Amino acid sequence: MSLTIFWTFAFAAVLLAGLGVKFWLATRQIRHVARHRASVPAAFQATVSLPSHQKAADYTIVKARVGLLEMAWGAAVLLGWTLLGGLHALNQLLLDWLGAGMAQQLALVVAFVAIGGLLELPFSLYQTFVVEERFGFNKMTWRLWIADTLKGLVVGALIGLPAVWLILWLMGAAGTLWWLWAWGAWMALNLLLLVLYPTVIAPLFNKFKPLEDETLRARVTALMQRCGFAAKGLFVMDGSKRSAHANAYFTGFGAAKRVVFFDTLLAKLSPGEVDAVLAHELGHFKHRHITKRIVGLFAFSLLGFAVLGFLATQPWFYTGLGVAPNLTGANDALALLLFLLAVPVFSFFVSPLGALLSRRHEFQADAFAVAQTGPQDLRTALLKLYEDNAATLTPDPLFVKFYYSHPPATERLARMAAGAAA
């Protein structure tokens, strides 16, 4: 068996296996949530109403069913790009029009991204304007959606095109170790975006104003000082103009770090509960979770660029995925796009390890928050946030292990109770 045939069968087999596992997990989740819809779990009967519990169940089930269709469509699109020859046809079309060269390679990447975005658009619109609307979460208007889309396209072009050009140029000009130089450039861009995002990019989409509640500001400042954390500022974001979901987050890097509260969060939580949520986020910094994730990103991206550096020189990598390499021009854009299409297929089966690590980090951050503010405020804040976001209290345990980056409410509250008892 030639390497081309082996690679084709390996890709198809792993794709089908992954799709089968995803469908199995999704249907497990739907059945499990539906079975427990009729009654609130005993641990929450005093704090969560039956209508809220049923809303969360219905929301979870609807999203999972839409997700099933999206998975099937995504797999069909992936096969269309690869084994059915879509990427090959697009590449040949642009070669005939532009000829070989950097312009054709950039055009290939841009066309691929544009077509992919259009193919995913119906699901995005349905999720926002049908599912989120049905459950009372969507605050987005069509005018705002169009404005966000246009801004996103401009920002993506201003950042993405130079980055892609640089990587493609390095692939062709930096010799056999081009992947090492490209990795360095990619990491530098990511670090730069950590600095630019909170001050330049995010304000293009949302309004940020300083936290004006002096009492809450004093509480939050005192908490950060106790935890040894310094931020550039405390801000409130107008998240309510897009969604009824509530959140809070840290953003930025180095001197550009800032704390951002959704206005919806401040409207729903008491000052003590806001302290607890903030203390949880501070716990991530105290345990260096952000730094560890950045280091992990550096390591995995280095491995990815090294693998791409090898695969880009192998004819079977192209032909096994339905693409004939260019004979008279560079294949760098083809290699990059095929790699981006193939990686998710093979990485799916190791993704539970990342989810497991993330859940451990959440438990550690919860423990830090409890030590700083006590368990009661964090408990009530979490219950309000779970209810506000219609997060089911009864997810399928196996689905949780594969997908959940945050532990379910039952596990988080049980862990807090065990810590308090100890």
132 is in an annotated binding site: no
36 is in an annotated binding site: no
SS3 of residue 87 by DSSP: helix
Assess whether 366 carries a catalytic annotation.
yes
Length of the chain: 422
Please pick, among 273, 332, 366, 387, the residue that the annotation labels catalytic.
Answer: 366
CA distances from 233 to 148, 250, 256, 303, 411 (A): 25, 10, 9, 36, 33
CB atoms closer than 10 angstroms to residue 171: 22
CB atoms closer than 10 angstroms to residue 206: 16
Residue 312 dihedral angles phi and psi, to the nearest 5°: -60, -20
280 is in an annotated binding site: yes
**Distance (Å, rounded) from C-alpha 313 to C-alpha 222?**
57
- How far is Cα of residue 49 from the mean position of the Cα atoms in its chain? 30
Assess whether 70 carries a catalytic annotation.
no
CA pseudo-torsion sign 162, 168, 170, 172? negative
Q: Are 274 and 221 in contact (CB under 8 A)?
A: no
Q: Which residues on adjacent β-strands are paired with residue 234?
A: 259
Give the side-chain half-sphere CA count within 13 A for 291: 7
**Distance (Å, rounded) from C-alpha 247 to C-alpha 388?**
10
Please pick, among 281, 332, 377, 387, the residue that the annotation labels catalytic.
Answer: 281
Q: Tell me, what DSSP letter sits at residue 252?
A: -
Name the residue with tokens 């059945």: 31
CB atoms closer than 10 angstroms to residue 341: 18
Any idea which residues carry the catalytic annotation?
Answer: 281, 366
Annotated binding site for Zn(2+): 280, 284, 362
Could you list the residues known to form a binding site, using ranges. 280, 284, 362
